[in-house]
Amino acid sequence: MEYDFKRDLIWLISRPWIFVPRFIQIVGAISLLLARLIFQGSSNDAKTQKNLAKFLLKTLIGLGPCFIKVGQALSTRPDLIRKDWLEELTNLQDNLPAFPHDKALEIIKDELGRSADELFEDFPSAPIASASLGQVYKARLNKKYWVAVKVQRPNLIFNIRRDIVIIKILGVFSAPILPLNLGFGLGEIIDEFGRSLFEEVDYIKEANNAEKFSKLFHDNKSVTIPKVEKHLSSIKVLTTSWIDGTKLKDRNELINNNLNPSYIIRTGVISGIQQLLEFGYFHADPHPGNMFALKGSHGDLGNIAYVDFGMMDSISEEDRLTLTGAIVHLINNDFDLVAKDFQTLGFLNQEQDLTPLIPVLKEVLGSALGKDVSSFNFKEITNKFSELMFDYPFRVPARFALIIRAVISQEGLALRLDPDFKIIDLAYPYVAKRLLTSDTNEMLNILLDVIFDQNGNIRVERVENLLNVLTQDSTTPAKELIPVAGAGLKLLTSRRGTLIRRNLLMSIIKDERIDTKDMKQLIKLFRKTFNPIKMASGLIKQNNTQVA
């Protein structure tokens, strides 16, 4: 049940009757697909594009689970894939051909020890959805309690084991001629993909993942996680409470169900950022089939539910802090520090001379960022880095493969519902709030980098920027600022605030003279931002809105 390329390579090569026919089938199917894409991909004829999309879908389904997973990732990118292709690829999420119902009943009995009719009060005669690795039944456990029963496809381990080896062989040999120069990192990325797939087919692990994820969002009323019924779950069968919601596939469908797409996007993206930068444990496959919009809202946050916890991953504390710092450095145009962040994260070699790369990063990231935070998007960034990888030593660390997939899928999902959405427009306010309210030494060091320059001067404009982004889209700014004010006072008067107090004092003493200009500007900013009358009226307005 664990991924091991060397073991599986030996296993497959020693069985040429399995390896050779499958290798020929995959190469033939991909070659035929590429030929059609080359000759018909640029056609303006709608019928031709529709047929091409259907052929792409048919090819991916025919090649099996590993290739369906690739198609699912593409189905979340409306900025990469034509709209008519996208409509076809969304069928890969939960509208795949089902395997025989009798086989599903047999697997349930083998795994759980009793037949479905004995275990459930009501078990349907057909699945309600069929995905890449299994199919889902809506069953009734007792009275009004409905559950989702996911049953794994037959021979799944064998198929994944065989195909991942062939995919890696093809990937490593074709890497030098691919349009995107991934270099030696491509093999590692395929290994990461293989490891995640092997974990995804173990439903006991998925059950544990769901319970862990549920604990992280226990106090978040906007995020729902289904309850696992462990006594009805095994390696190949997973039973959870049924989620009754609207899939995040279409903006109009949400509106028709009286759901606010903007609120739903906001909750989805904020919860995704929280997973990466706060929890360090994240859902790596947030495509529309795995997320539902639920009725109700909390302020400007909609209610969402996550399902399918097979593809999960962790990010280390060190990487989380570096990513947080990188976002701050990027917004503040500190591209020398951004370069160091890339080096720390492994996108650049530790011995790499960063001097010639700083202007490159400024050109790529600075132009993508533009004049304000909201103009930034990952699509533009990935496109430009694709070009740079030929000439500069950037690479994608294997441990970031699923992180990048999760972020890009999240952005793609949001773009389906709002074409003008910018993910960092929500990411930066979240990071700003963490900086201003966190009590860890690591976050304090990042905050000091923001507030003070190398000469110890107060960067009032950056403090103002931090405070502004907290309230830029908020209808209740007082609600955002009061926790910040409390946390700031607590920090300044604590032992941990010694560094800030000392730096503030040193900013006044310059060249053996007293200079209070920066301090006066800072005090003026705080008076304006945390004006008691303004904050009190804001709270009253907020309470009146809630009562209404």
Burial of 296 (0-12, 13-18, 19+ CB in 10 A): exposed
Q: What is the 3-state secondary structure (H, E, C) of 307-319?
A: CCCCCEEECCHHH
Q: Which residues contact 186 (CB under 8 A, 6 or more apart)?
A: 171, 172, 175, 178
Catalytic residue status for 511: no
Cα-only R_g, the chain: 26
Beta-strand relationship, 223-224 and 301-306:
parallel
Does residue 146 contact residue 153 with C-beta atoms inside 8 Å? no
- Catalytic one of 285, 341, 425, 518: 285
Q: Which residues contact 190 (CB under 8 A, 6 or more apart)?
A: 164, 167, 168, 171, 172
Burial of 321 (0-12, 13-18, 19+ CB in 10 A): middle
| Separation between Cα atoms, residue 423 and residue 401, nearest integer Å | 19
Does residue 302 contact residue 267 with C-beta atoms inside 8 Å? yes
Please, what sign has the CA dihedral across residues 73, 77, 78, 80?
negative
Burial of 297 (0-12, 13-18, 19+ CB in 10 A): middle
Residue 183, Ramachandran bin (φ over 0: left; ψ between -120 and 50: alpha; else beta)? left
| Separation between Cα atoms, residue 365 and residue 386, nearest integer Å | 13
Residue at 96: amino acid letter:
L
Phi, psi (deg, nearest 5) at residue 196: -65, -35
Please give the structure tokens belonging to residue 349.
């070699």
Q: Which residues contact 35 (CB under 8 A, 6 or more apart)?
A: none
Residue 258, Ramachandran bin (φ over 0: left; ψ between -120 and 50: alpha; else beta)? left
Write the DSSP string, 35-103: HHHHHHTT---HHHHHHHHHHHHHHHHHH-HHHHHHHHHHTT-TTTS-HHHHHHHTHHHHBSPPPPHHH
| Separation between Cα atoms, residue 361 and residue 340, nearest integer Å | 11
Instruction: Report the catalytic residues.
Output: 285
